[in-house]
Amino acid sequence: MLRSLFLISGLFFLSLAAAAQEKRGLIIGIDKYLPPPGAKIAGTARSLFRNLDGCVNDGRAMHSVLLSRFAFPASGVDTLFNEKANRAAILQKMNSLLEKTQAGDIVLIFYAGHGSQVPNSLSSEVDKKDESIVPADTWKPGVEDIRDKELSKIFNAFLDKGAKLTVIMDCCHSGSNTRGPQSSSQYRFIADANYDAKDASQPRAPETRPEGNFLVLAAAQDNEYAQEQRDENNIAHGAFTIALLQALEQQSVNASVQNLFNSIRAILKSNGKKQEPVLGGSSQRLSQTLLGIEKGSLPDKSLVAVSGFGFREVYLQGGFAIGLYKENELVKMKGADTLVKLVVDTVYSVNRSGARIVKGNSKELKAGDLLEVTNWVSSQAPLLKIYLPKTTLAFAEIQRLAAVNKEIRQSGKVKWINELEKEDPFTSLFYDGQKFRINMDGKELPAPASLNAAAILKTARADSGFYFELPLFTSLYTAFKSRLNTPANKSIVLTDSPADAQYTLYGTIDEEGNPAYGLRRMQPSSRDSLESMPVQTKSFPAAGSPESIDELCSSLYDYAMRLAKIRGWLHLSGPEDSENSFPFHLELRDKTSGESITTNEYRVGHKVAFHLVANPGTSSAHKTKRYVYVFLIDKSGNMALAYPDADAGNVANQFPKFQDYALVKDVMLFEGTVSEPVGTDNYFLLASDEPIPNFGMVFNQEGVRGAGDSGDNPLGNLLNLGNEGGTRGFTKSVANWGLIKMSVKSRY
């Protein structure tokens, strides 16, 4: 009897803990590292300091997302930006957060700023260094970095209290140079500290603890740079945070960490970045939501708080970070009736907008009121940004360099490379728009004054990989720039910033040794050969005549449009889920065994089947039917219909289906055998209230200009995504469609 009493008592206290669960957060963003003018910096932890651009924006964006999407109370989220994020303040805020935290609480710690390393002679690591985050007052004498060992002790203390802790870090863990032709970028890495930590402690890695209550998301591996770039609204951010924010827009708040991470990585790679994000946590934690909040406990919609009032304007505590755009509509409800309706007129920043009232009265609103976003508005940002290095070289000089490149290829003294998808070169020679540069195993060397084969080969290591990228010539530069600046092109723009571009034009030689040009990722890497966006497109021969240049520009433009199509669909964020959302998902299964393939990988020759499966909790009460179409876009931009059959008509493709008044929860849509080529196959399920009458033509496109006339049909504009004259999506609509994405890597 006594045992039963203890059991009942324990259950009672557990229920109290669940009821008292709090959401708490600490957000740190540091852009300013330079000491004040005139400050003496002798004797500090490091002597060279560099400011950043997007860390505070990252922090403000995450703050906005926590409040609007994850229902964190404003009073529960602390922020430290710039000078306030000194070492003492960071540790004090972390410890204060720890003191407040109770068992069962949801806790987030977010850091954006410089990452570095600290020498540690007593470390068990081979390199005798600890990774660290760098406080804003690192310029002061005696101010040390906050090392990973210190952070682990703090994180473990949260777990000891029974909290569920998520840590997100957009910084470098150490930083290293990389091979291949590289663009200049802003990196979140600062030189190593110049003191010895002398710390032999080995705290347990929080992600290895058996409770499974810890998750870490980091921007880059410990031998990579974390980079900055500008987003589609020209706002500086970390490249990783941009991908995180967009993935959060695309995914439900109930999405698993693993699915969210897959989206983050796909977006980061499609943005042309080489860095590889890091995910750490137990398999149990990776199946949960990002912050560990119970699935289904949050409404899957953005709730935006009123922050104040101006002259004929209501200020909102939400902006680009949560996908607000001009013409978004928001409402305050009273029961089933709309009390006040507003329309966004201006989005000022990542977390601030202005709206006007179109229904109701401002007296019905007060600061802190939560408004619901009720319609979908697309971003009108371009789908693809291309960087063209400026050049003053004539075609005759390119022909001379092509002959030099051919001589190097035929010399047999190096392993000549022109396919960056297959191998990373040890040495690269390329033109940055002003001068020739050499990258040898991640280190920059001066290029020879005279670019001839003998001089170039002296700079390369014998029998190692060598890549020589030909520059553009002036007539090609001018012609391609003019080709992109036509009224028909709404999907692609040129940018002067290599850090913000996804692709650039590259030059090589064909089999005969003649100049040829194609498009390549700004940061090519052979390990990304299976990603959704190709490392390189095929190259096309170049000649000096106006006719041949025009033909070359047409070929390059077609491939640029293909890249825009892939990227457009990968980045498209549809309407957020609501009570009338489409409660199904795609599931990939082995056709022979019937087992689910959870790795999102298959191999050539593998027999697989795709099923439409109801989400957990879906019941027969869900009656809203939608027309379902599944299509595939490969890395060449080709679109192929997978379901329904092209001649089947819009009859059997309406879901949900019922049998004896019961919901059919599992339907096999299509099956087949995996074929070449290998790479990433992106499957998209479009669920629409409207049928698409010509879907057999729309979803089978070899090129990028055959989607048909979209007219004023919003869904037609969506399907024209990435085509010439197409836009990012239709401008404005009610939430009457949904998009489900699945990326699957195929291998041999």
> What confidence tens digit (pLDDT) does each residue in 452-496 have?
999 999 989 888 999 999 999 999 999 999 999 988 888 899 998
State the Cα–Cα distance between residues 404 and 459, nearest whole angstrom.
Answer: 14
Q: What pLDDT score does 8 carry?
A: 30
546-571 helix and 474-484 helix, angle to the nearest 10 degrees: 50
Class of domain 19-286 (CATH, top level): alpha beta
Could you give the CA distance from residue 179 to residue 419 in angstroms, rounded to a whole number? 14
Q: What is the mean pLDDT of residues 703-711?
A: 50
Residue 72: which of 30, 29, 28, 21 has the closest Cα? 21
Contact 315, 354 (CB under 8 A): yes
- Show the DSSP H helices in 70-146 as ranges: 87-100
For residue range 330-348, list pLDDT tens digits in order. Answer: 999 988 889 999 999 999 9
Between CA 531 and CA 630 the distance in angstroms is 20
pLDDT recorded at residue 280: 93
128: left (phi over 0), alpha (psi -120 to 50) or beta: left
413 burial (CB, 10 Å; 0-12 / 13-18 / 19+) is middle
pLDDT given at position 15: 37
Q: What average pLDDT does the segment 704-732 reach?
A: 63
Closest by CA to 592, choosing from 673, 667, 675, 680, is: 673
Region 80-101: mean pLDDT is 97
pLDDT at 730 over 80: no
pLDDT band at 176 (very low <50, low <70, confident <90, very high): low
What per-residue confidence (pLDDT) applies to 512?
Answer: 95
The whole-number pLDDT of residue 442 equals 81
- CATH number for the region 303-377 comes to 2.40.30.20
Q: What share of the chain is helix, strand, coil (3-state, %, to 5)?
A: 25, 30, 45
What is the model's pLDDT at position 48? Answer: 82
**Closest to 214 in 3D by CA, of 164, 259, 158, 169:** 164
Burial class for 168, CB neighbours closer than 10 Å (0-12, 13-18, 19+): buried
Cα distance between residue 573 and residue 551, in whole Å? 35
Report d(CA 457, CA 431) in Å as an integer.
17
Q: What is the pLDDT of residue 579?
A: 46
| Closest-CA residue to 225 (of 240, 242, 235, 236) | 240
Nearest to 371 by CA among 324, 345, 333: 333
Specify the pLDDT at position 10.
Answer: 36
What pLDDT is stored for residue 695 in this prediction?
87
Q: How would residue 178 be classed by pLDDT, with cut points 50, 70 and 90?
A: low
Q: What is the mean pLDDT of residues 95-107?
A: 97
Which residues fall within 8 angstroms of residue 558, CB to CB, at 6 or more apart?
A: 703, 704
Candidate ranges 223-227, 254-258, 511-515; pick with highest mean pLDDT: 511-515
Ranges 35-39, 302-306, 723-727: which has the least confidence: 723-727
The reported pLDDT for the residue numbered 423 is 92
Q: Where are the domains of the chain?
A: 19-286, 303-377, 385-570, 572-747
- What confidence category does residue 18 fall into, taking pLDDT thresholds of 50, 70 and 90? very low
Average pLDDT, the chain: 88
With a pLDDT cut of 70, the percent of the chain lying above it is: 92
Strand 427-431 and strand 436-440: the pairing is: antiparallel
Residue 701: pLDDT band with limits 50, 70, 90: confident
pLDDT-derived band at 703, boundaries 50, 70, 90: low
Identify the band that residue 16 occupies on the pLDDT scale cut at 50, 70 and 90: very low
What is the Cα–Cα distance from 202 to 149, expressed in whole angstroms? 7
Residue 179 is predicted with a pLDDT of 67
pLDDT at residue 577 greater than cutoff 50 = yes
Task: Read off the pLDDT band of 252 (50, 70, 90).
Answer: confident
Name the percent of the chain lying above pLDDT 90: 60
pLDDT at 296 over 90: no
Is the distance from CB of 188 to CB of 226 less than 8 angstroms?
Answer: yes
Non-local CB neighbours of 660 within 8 Å, separated by 6+ positions: none
